[in-house]
Amino acid sequence: MPGSASLSAPQKALRKLGLARDIDLALHLPLRWEDETRITRLAQAREGEAVQIEGTVTDSQLAYRPRRQLVVTIDDGSDTCQLRFFSFYPSQQKALAVGQRIRARGELRGGLYGWQMVHPTCRPAGEPLPTALTPVYSTVATLPQAYLRKAVMAGLARADLSDSFPPGLARHLGLDEGWSLRESLQFLHHPAPDVSMASLENREHPAWQRLKAEELLAQQLSQLVSKRERDALRAPRLAPTPGGLHEQLLQALPFALTAAQRRVAEEIARDLGRCVPMHRLLQGDVGSGKTVVAALAAAVTIDAGWQCALMAPTEILAEQHFRKLIGWLEPLLAPRGLCVAWLTGSQKKKERTAMLAPIASGEAALVVGTHAVIQEQVQPPRLALAIIDEQHRFGVAQRLALRSKMLAEGQEPHLLMMSATPIPRTLAMSYYADLDVSTIDELPPGRTPVVTKVVSDSRRGEVIERIRAQLQQGRQVYWVCPLIEESEVLDLSNATETHQSLSEALPGVQVGLLHSRMPVAEKKAVMARFESGEMGVLVSTTVVEVGVDVPNASLMVIEHAERFGLSQLHQLRGRVGRGAAASACVLLYAPGENGRLGETARERLKAMVETSDGFEIARRDLDIRGPGEFLGARQSGAPLLRFADLELDRPLLEAVRAVAPRVLERHPEMAARHVARWLGGKSEYLKA
Ligand code: ADP
Ligand code: MG
């Protein structure tokens, strides 16, 4: 019996589905509904219809051909129907014995022997027919539908469903005021049979509209609350001094900033000059020059006497990304008695320990590395700015860890996140309301657009010719092999085979191999040889995905391009076209067994050919994958919208967004109750 100390399997499943509180159960709305309110007479039924019939069992026997099955005949007075079951318990067989009166629900098929139903749902006749549609909930194997229905019913009955919409709000949002939360929920769990099924299924019914508005309001409010909490925190004010590090860095740079870089650098400087911690995302297409903007922010910080930490998702990226930055800053730090500390996972313990002292004394004004930066022992006493590169590649928990650990002298650090994957506007509006966004929308001058071609794998020979031509002009080439997540071994064999065959096809050319399982030192050595120009072709798994900067590379071949995600392809392509030479990207694809590419793969490759604009790519990626995938929410546990759809319900989203600050202002208690009801303890994740 439930209630004992240990939970039953269905109770555990309820927990796992996040259905812990009464209100969670009440908000677990049906996936679909079945109409069990009517009995259809067989004489009036139509082929293919899902119906409920009622009759007396006139025959019941086991058949063994073509396979073991229970065949039951029922007669409803107008006609007969055969019910077939391929798996059944003895108890079911007994319930379907000759003479029993039963109800069966399923799809009617006409056949050689008259009407048939395969695996109908059966129950004894006699109970009064339900007066509402029967809900079908999404569930898991260990949680039977019937159990879940009872639990939801009970939750719905017990939950506090009193309104948490301030008076007038529903009307303001253009909702039908007849539908309160209570009425909407009661209706959607048990709709009247005369409702239009279409309005339930496409979620246009006023009850659905009310729930969508409720959900969107909860989300907007929770973000406003996060923002308010942040505004209450204090961070060091960092202002650039005339003639200081910031100006020295600008003078030392071998190029002038683009207008876009200047604009975002100013936006960041303005944030740093306030006593509220910055929470800003710097987005800009691959190659748009985010690193120098980060360096300027670091310079302001260090100039003001504070420390700055920079974190990248992998060691090779950390090194690639920050080598330039360090090259710029280190010569300016040395005369001030300051230094840069490196922290990575592959470091020897001794080496890493040696870094801890200058970090703790503040002598290391810049702390650079991978996840190692957020380790316990790393204690920069005056950390005022944390910069996270390729922020979307970090888990939410890691971002939170960075933010929470780095309290310096009772103050929060400023946080700057960088990403080459722009957030589409609808997502920015709904999920990242507590995030300020700066965008670099311009590439540095002198870049030539990359020409992208989609080529069948059967034309590999021509591609190799093309590589030869590039090499003869003194250019370099990337060849990327896909990462096969399920099998690192397969992944590796693919890359090594390609490496082998390219080495043979290109005698006298240095062909290097880089893959994820190589020791870091070896990876670095390979990269160094490619960067120096000594190596002509670099075969690699996706480790070059972000951050590698070799302007002389002018051709990128991506093998099995159909296996990559769209933004990944875009990131990869960003590795070429970094110099003045005309550059190309060849997307090799291998058609499936039917000689064709799948629909979404085709769409992705098409998008790559049609546009090189990172924003357009992100928008299309969102279309193809949906927001859940885009946010990587499955790993992060961030509460996604369950009922509202960002695109379809955009007008409602905008209306809710506009009114949310007023709701919070005028009805703070109601707002708090609303957020707690809808998000429970889950809202924490939205802050990261
Ligand atoms: P990303 O935004 O992808 O991180 P990077 O910061 O790596 O881009 O910059 C790409 C390349 O462009 C680097 O070699 C960088 O030094 C160079 N770069 C950045 N800004 C400019 C500029 N204003 N003019 C010329 N080159 C620039
Ligand atoms: Mg970068």
Structure tokens at 500: 């082998």
Which of 412, 440, 468 terminates a domain? The answer is: 440
Question: Quick one: which atom of ligand 1 is closest to the CA of 284?
Answer: 2
In this prediction, residue 476 carries a pLDDT of 95
Are residues 407 and 500 part of one domain?
Answer: no
Q: Could you tell me if the CB of 255 is within 6 A of ligand 1?
A: yes
Q: Could you tell me if the CB of 570 is within 6 A of ligand 1?
A: no
d(CA 571, CA 621): 13
Are residues 589 and 479 part of one domain?
Answer: yes
Which of 70, 101, 124 terminates a domain? The answer is: 124
Nearest-CA residue for ligand 1 atom 15 is: 289
In this prediction, residue 615 carries a pLDDT of 79
Are residues 588 and 534 part of one domain?
Answer: yes
Question: Quick one: which atom of ligand 1 is closest to the CA of 440?
Answer: 2
Q: Could you tell me if the CB of 288 is within 6 A of ligand 1?
A: yes
Return the closest-CA partner of residue 219 out of 668, 662, 638, 647: 638
Return the closest-CA partner of residue 329 out of 302, 369, 354, 360: 302
Total domain count, the chain: 4
| Residues 147-158 pLDDT 10s | 999 999 999 999
CA 442 / ligand 1 centre spacing (Å): 11
Question: Quick one: which atom of ligand 1 is closest to the CA of 324?
Answer: 16
Are residues 430 and 296 part of one domain?
Answer: yes
Q: Could you tell me if the CB of 283 is within 6 A of ligand 1?
A: no
Are residues 77 and 26 part of one domain?
Answer: no
Question: Do residues 278 and 308 touch, judged by C-beta distance below 8 A?
Answer: no
Q: Given CA atoms 628, 634, 639, 642 in this order, what sign does their dihedral have?
A: positive
In this prediction, residue 637 carries a pLDDT of 38
Q: Is residue 257 part of a domain?
A: yes
- Secondary structure, 3-state, 292-355: HHHHHHHHHHHHCCCEEEEECCCHHHHHHHHHHHHHHHHHHHHHHCCEEEEECCCCCHHHHHHH
Q: Is residue 329 part of a domain?
A: yes
Mutate to test the pocket of ligand 1, among 416, 418, 549 (most ligand atoms within 8 A of CB): 549
Determine the longest span between alpha carbons in the chain, in angstroms. Answer: 100
CA 618 / ligand 1 centre spacing (Å): 21
| Residues 576-592 pLDDT 10s | 887 778 899 999 998 87
Q: Is residue 220 part of a domain?
A: no
Q: Is residue 215 part of a domain?
A: no
Mutate to test the pocket of ligand 1, among 264, 291, 418, 571 (most ligand atoms within 8 A of CB): 291
Are residues 508 and 466 part of one domain?
Answer: yes
Please tell me the number of Cα atoms within 13 Å of 250 on its side-chain side. 15
Question: Quick one: which atom of ligand 1 is closest to the CA of 292?
Answer: 6
CA 245 / ligand 1 centre spacing (Å): 20
Are residues 252 and 354 part of one domain?
Answer: yes
Q: Is residue 641 part of a domain?
A: no
Question: Quick one: which atom of ligand 1 is closest to the CA of 551?
Answer: 14
The ligand that comes nearest to the alpha carbon of residue 312 is 2
Nearest-CA residue for ligand 1 atom 14 is: 549
Q: Could you tell me if the CB of 421 is within 6 A of ligand 1?
A: no
Q: Could you tell me if the CB of 292 is within 6 A of ligand 1?
A: yes
In this prediction, residue 605 carries a pLDDT of 93
Mutate to test the pocket of ligand 1, among 292, 317, 388, 389 (most ligand atoms within 8 A of CB): 292
The gap between the terminal CA atoms of the chain, to the nearest Å, is 41
- Helices first, then strands: H and E counts in the chain: 25, 22
Q: Is residue 301 part of a domain?
A: yes
Mutate to test the pocket of ligand 1, among 288, 319, 320, 390 (most ligand atoms within 8 A of CB): 288
Question: Do residues 478 and 527 touch, judged by C-beta distance below 8 A?
Answer: no
Question: Do residues 104 and 74 touch, judged by C-beta distance below 8 A?
Answer: yes
CA 417 / ligand 1 centre spacing (Å): 17
What's the pTM value of the predicted model, to 2 decimals?
0.71
In this prediction, residue 489 carries a pLDDT of 55
Domain that holds residue 149: 4-32+133-202
d(CA 74, CA 53): 9
CATH, residue 104: 2.40.50.140
Are residues 479 and 409 part of one domain?
Answer: no
Q: Could you tell me if the CB of 235 is within 6 A of ligand 1?
A: no
Are residues 154 and 77 part of one domain?
Answer: no
CATH, residue 456: 3.40.50.300
The ligand that comes nearest to the alpha carbon of residue 258 is 1
Nearest-CA residue for ligand 1 atom 9 is: 289
Q: Could you tell me if the CB of 291 is within 6 A of ligand 1?
A: yes
Q: Could you tell me if the CB of 326 is within 6 A of ligand 1?
A: no
In this prediction, residue 635 carries a pLDDT of 36
In this prediction, residue 422 carries a pLDDT of 72
Q: Could you tell me if the CB of 286 is within 6 A of ligand 1?
A: yes
Are residues 287 and 401 part of one domain?
Answer: yes
Q: Is residue 68 part of a domain?
A: yes
Nearest-CA residue for ligand 1 atom 4 is: 290
Are residues 361 and 332 part of one domain?
Answer: yes
Residue 238 burial (CB count, 10 A): 24
Q: Could you tell me if the CB of 290 is within 6 A of ligand 1?
A: yes
Are residues 107 and 144 part of one domain?
Answer: no
Nearest-CA residue for ligand 1 atom 19 is: 289
Q: Is residue 366 part of a domain?
A: yes
Which of 124, 143, 177 terminates a domain? The answer is: 124
Collect the ranges in the chain with pLDDT lower than 70. Answer: 1-5, 111, 391-410, 424-433, 483-493, 542-548, 626-640, 681-688
Return the closest-CA partner of residue 403 out of 297, 277, 319: 277
Q: Could you tell me if the CB of 400 is within 6 A of ligand 1?
A: no
Return the closest-CA partner of residue 218 out of 688, 567, 677: 677
Question: Quick one: which atom of ligand 1 is closest to the CA of 293?
Answer: 6
Cα–Cα separations (whole angstroms), residue 416 to 259, 282, 314, 319: 20, 7, 18, 19
Question: Do residues 190 and 651 touch, judged by C-beta distance below 8 A?
Answer: no
